[in-house]
Structure 1
Amino acid sequence: MSGNQGMESLIPIINRMQDAFTQLGVHMAIDLPQIAVVGGQSAGKSSVLENFVGKDFLPRGSGIVTRRPLILQLINGPTEYGEFLHCKGQKFMDFLSIMKEIEDETDRVTGSNKGISNLPINLRVYSPHVLNITLIDLPGLTKMAIGDQPSDIGEQIRDMIMTYICRETCLILAVTPANTDLATSDALQLAKQADPDGLRTIGVLTKLDLMDEGTDAKEVLENKLLPLRRGYVGVVNRSQKDIEGKKDIRLAVAAERKFFLSHPAYRHMADRCGTPYLQKQLNQQLTNHIRESLPALRDKLQRQLLSLEKEVEQYKYFRPDDPSIKTKAMLQMIQQLQQDFERAIEGSGSAAVNTLELSGGAKINRLFHERYN
């Protein structure tokens, strides 16, 4: 099965690139094929991720707990442990210490005032119970700020999520609780904006066991109600009480299986429901997705490498007394200045446009017409 062996090595390649980008602090100028996890604050995102690993390791609490993107690289291996990119070489054997490290590392960058940061935390979890999948866990969507959070925290989170999920190379795992109205689901609404044709979105329905008596999500799971090209997978997570009582996740996954097999609405598709099936799906979808994205990614990297090599080539023969080099550098600086100046006047290209007062050309225009007329 050499073909499959090649496929299995695709996800680790992207993992290595993700680590490299994070360490360089490069704001991903290159879009890597990845899966971003999106959902409202209590949609059950953490539970879905913890069920994959079979351990509690994500911080929980009221309010916004995920305040930085968490790049979670699940890697199948014989022993269970975690490793953070920011403490290279240190093996975290105990999953509660992983939870504490995520909290501490979040506070180190965002401060304790509950703000958010775009700088990701990279965590690898090795375990015999996982398939190779890399997921980016993003902050839960929230409606309002609490305590001393910035008042526009909702906007900030939305913007952060959009920067990830608008990329063509990003698959969107939209996590929605089944006991709320699907039409108003935060995750599905955002996914629809970023992926209007529903080509990159994978739906996950949580809390199927909490639906009102006599109702079910059969139509959604059969992909008839709000269809997505990649469909929906239903899961049942542990209840809050189970989590507080530290109920073993493996028992919970067995209970989930029983729920689907014995439920009249889901019995006929029990094999396409539940956490293990979702894990398999994501491993396959991500692998295929990487395979499709690789040629373009390779081209882009090669182009960047070539242009860098050219630049290096110029410096190889650099002689400090060579006037042509100085002239060239001066010209480049002047051109750059000219571009920046034009942008400032047009008000284009700068992300930090001040919306509270006029700037650039608009300000000049006003001065001429009001003060000097």
Structure 2
Amino acid sequence: MITLGERTFGVLTKLDLMDKGTNALDVLEGRSYRLQHPWVGIVNRSQSDINKNVDMIVARRKEREYFATSPDYGHLANKMGSEYLAKLLSKHLESVIRARIPSITSLINKSIEELESEMDHLGRPISLDAGAQLYTILELCRAFERIFKEHLDGGRPGGDRIYNVFDNQLPAALRKLPFDRHFSLQNVRKVVSEADGYQPHLIAPEQGYRRLIEGALG
């Protein structure tokens, strides 16, 4: 049971089976045990009704008649019964949902903002259309050009870092490539001859150059 009683509804059953001369008014009227929400008394189907397959419509009608004609509970008849309990619970559920909607809306909006921010960071989805893909590539190239220019114009440290790449790192990387083996006269002659095939060209074909470069970089 919740301490504050915010979610506690008191329900008394089998009121019709109490001993003659007794009643549950002290409980139903909140004198013996008070709750934040009202107590509700209900009358269920008897075992005899269940054995006779009395349907719920008839059972609810008999329940209404019991409270309406009861000398003990007649003055509470409009606040007793299963139908009243269902309406009471539905109304409470509606009020709870209404109270929670602002916080739920705030949480959803926050989640949407976070997802949109992440999507902006990841970039727009790439279209399947070839023209749109080309446009995206051109945009990326322009962005790279702009950032590269900003580094060059920004002086240190951007300009120094780019200068270091071309002046130190690139030559060092090129010196590590096996150009002496792939571009030896014997290998070049062999690749050009294979690219010529059965019909030699006056100028060495492009395919030969490609094979030499791919071999050196691979």
Q: Which runs of 5+ in 1 are unaligned?
A: 1-190, 320-373
Q: 1:211 & 1:308 partners in 2: Cα distance?
A: 61
Q: 1:281 & 1:269 partners in 2: Cα distance?
A: 15
2:33 counterpart of 1:222: no
2:75 counterpart of 1:271: no
Shift of 1:315: 2.9
Match of 2:100 in 1: 293
TM-score by length of 1: 0.31
Structure possessing the higher relative contact order (Cα contacts under 8 Å, 6 or more residues apart): 1
2:43 counterpart of 1:236: yes
Match of 1:6 in 2: none
Aligned to 2:13, which of 200, 203, 206?
A: 206
The 5-angstrom pairing of residues 107-118 of structure 1 reads none
* Distance change in 2, residues 1:299/1:218 (3 Å): same
Q: 1:213 & 1:207 partners in 2: Cα distance?
A: 13
Q: Deviations over 1:163-197 (max 9, x none)?
A: xxxxxxxxxxxxxxxxxxxxxxxxxxxx2xxx201
Q: Give the count of matched residue pairs.
A: 126
Q: 1:244 & 1:302 partners in 2: Cα distance?
A: 55
Match of 2:120 in 1: 313
Q: 1:318 & 1:275 partners in 2: Cα distance?
A: 55
Match of 1:259 in 2: 66
Shift of 1:291: 1.7
* Distance change in 2, residues 1:312/1:212 (3 Å): farther
Q: 2:107 & 2:14 partners in 1: Cα distance?
A: 42
Q: 2:107 & 2:101 partners in 1: Cα distance?
A: 10
Q: 1:244 & 1:314 partners in 2: Cα distance?
A: 68
Q: Which runs of 5+ in 2 are unaligned?
A: 127-218
The 5-angstrom pairing of residues 1-373 of structure 1 reads 191=1, 195-316=2-123
Match for 1:271: what amino acid?
N
Q: Deviations over 1:148-174 (max 9, x none)?
A: xxxxxxxxxxxxxxxxxxxxxxxxxxx
Q: 1:214 & 1:309 partners in 2: Cα distance?
A: 69
Match for 1:273: what amino acid?
M
Shift of 1:317: 5.8
* Distance change in 2, residues 1:317/1:262 (3 Å): closer
Shift of 1:204: 1.8
Q: 1:290 & 1:216 partners in 2: Cα distance?
A: 36
What SS is found at the alignment partner of 1:201? coil
Shift of 1:286: 2.0
Q: 2:109 & 2:80 partners in 1: Cα distance?
A: 41
Q: 1:312 & 1:211 partners in 2: Cα distance?
A: 66
Shift of 1:252: 0.9
Match for 2:58: what amino acid?
L
Match for 1:307: what amino acid?
E
After superposing on structure 2, the runs of 4+ consecutive aligned residues of structure 1 that deviate more than 4 Å are none
Q: 1:207 & 1:305 partners in 2: Cα distance?
A: 51
- Greater strand share, structure number: 1
Paired-residue identity, %:
40
Q: 2:103 & 2:35 partners in 1: Cα distance?
A: 25
- Greater helix share, structure number: 2
Q: Deviations over 1:319-342 (max 9, x none)?
A: 9xxxxxxxxxxxxxxxxxxxxxxx
Q: 1:302 & 1:203 partners in 2: Cα distance?
A: 38
Q: 1:260 & 1:299 partners in 2: Cα distance?
A: 46
- State which structure, 1 or 2, has the greater radius of gyration over its C-alpha atoms: 2
Shift of 1:318: 9.1
Shift of 1:271: 0.9
Shift of 1:241: 3.1
